[in-house]
Amino acid sequence: MDGFSEIRQSFREAAESSDIPKFVKEHPDAAFVFASRSPLPAAVRDSLGSKAADVRLRDLDTETQRPFLSRYLARGEQEVDSVLDQIESNFPGLPLIPLMLTLIARVYDETGQVPKGRATLFGQYAGWILRPEATGLDDPAGLDVAVRHLVRETYLKSGDRGMTVEQGVQALSAIKDKLKDFDIDTSALKLVNLFVRSGLYRRVGENLRFFHDSFESYYGARALESAFHSKGYDYVFGFKINPAFSETWEFLNEILSESQETQRLEEALAACEKKSVAPV
């Protein structure tokens, strides 16, 4: 069972407490393998019995990151030392996982630099995915607006990762006049398909997911940044107190720290807390 941690929030409680444990107990002679980014809940773990074993894929280390980067950098081994030096100085907290090093390699190939911080790295990688040569648009600003709106109307509203094609088309149709102001005058379906072709989203049947969940969290933070600048402090505060959006909140803090606005965020949220705003 791949992607246990990606189960939609609206189905999570039933899956953990009854659906999966019941299914496991009904098939006592079967072997089960769960792939998850987070530890399995106690009810699921207990249903597997005393012989259950945890296997954790280890991070890349100082020995294995060199051949990994050599493979993904355009100029291979000759650039590895420069990249590793910049990681140490610019990004000392970089998680040594394949995703992050792959993004680093791509951004370095394009800019010659390793960015400082996850938010900058994700933003630069997304900018490369949606570059004019790949999308046919002279200015990608409208695409950024469209993706932020998709995430605001799906993930931030429900807490569920991804969306259906129909949900995406409906959300983009609602802002078609706004997108025209950004020189995007195409159907909502064609725009959804553009995001799939670019690699930002992946499509399985009628379902759409970001190619990695952290990019949905990143664009969620970009949507909250927009709300913050529009003084929608009550709306933003709801996500601070909702643990389901912890990664999104981390991205938001990093984005605002780059523009030296974290103090204003803290002051605004302190005022919201005094008013006892209900969580999202």
Q: pTM of the full predicted structure?
A: 0.78
Whether residues 93 and 124 share a domain: the answer is no
Are residues 202 and 232 located together in one domain of the fold?
A: yes
Kindly report, residue by residue over 42-63, the tens digit of the pLDDT: 889 889 888 788 888 777 887 8
Q: Are residues 174 and 221 in the same domain?
A: yes
Are 131 and 150 part of one and the same domain?
Answer: yes
Q: Is residue 161 located within the same domain as residue 269? A: yes
Together in a domain, 130 and 239: yes
The verdict on residue 152 lying in a domain is yes
> Is residue 58 in some structural domain?
no
Could you read off the pLDDT of 9-43 as tens digits, one per residue? 778 888 888 999 999 999 988 999 998 878 888 88
Could you tell me if 252 and 167 lie in one domain? yes
Residue 54 belongs to some domain of the structure: no
* 100 and 133 housed in the same domain: no
Strands of 163-164's sheet, edge to edge? 163-164, 207-210, 201-204
Answer yes or no: do 132 and 17 share one domain.
no
Same domain, 137 and 248: yes
Burial class (CB in 10 A: 0-12, 13-18, 19+), 126: buried
Identify whether 195 is part of a domain: yes
Q: Quick one: how far is CA 123 from the chain centroid? A: 11
Q: How confident is the model at residue 276 (pLDDT cuts 50, 70, 90)?
A: low
Residue 277 has what pLDDT?
Answer: 47
- What is the mean pLDDT of the segment spanning 269-279? 71
- Residue 19: CB atoms within 10 Å: 14
Strand (E) or helix (H) holding 209: strand 207-210
Residue 32: CB partners within 8 Å, gap ≥ 6?
Answer: 1, 24, 48
Q: Give the range of the structural domain holding residue 84, as residue numbers without chain letter.
A: 65-116
Q: Are residues 125 and 94 in the same domain?
A: no
**Dist CA 147 CA 164 (whole Å):** 14
- Residue 205 resides in a domain: yes
Q: How far is CA 163 from CA 35, 150, 183, in A?
A: 22, 9, 25
Tens of pLDDT, residue by residue over 145-199, are: 999 999 999 999 999 999 999 999 999 999 999 999 999 999 999 999 999 999 9
Say how many domains are in the chain.
3
Average pLDDT score over residue span 77-102: 89
- Does 273 reside within a domain? yes
Whether the per-residue pLDDT at 269 is higher than 70: the answer is yes
Mean residue pLDDT across the chain: 90
Burial (Cβ within 10 Å: 0-12, 13-18, ≥19) of residue 243: exposed
What residue has token string 């951004």?
107
Question: What residue type is assigned to position 236 of the chain?
Answer: V
* Cα–Cα distance for residue pair 165/177, rounded to 1 Å: 20
Whether 59 is covered by a domain: the verdict is no
Contact 155, 107 (CB under 8 A): no
Residue 52 lies in a domain: no
Same domain, residue pair 145 and 248: yes
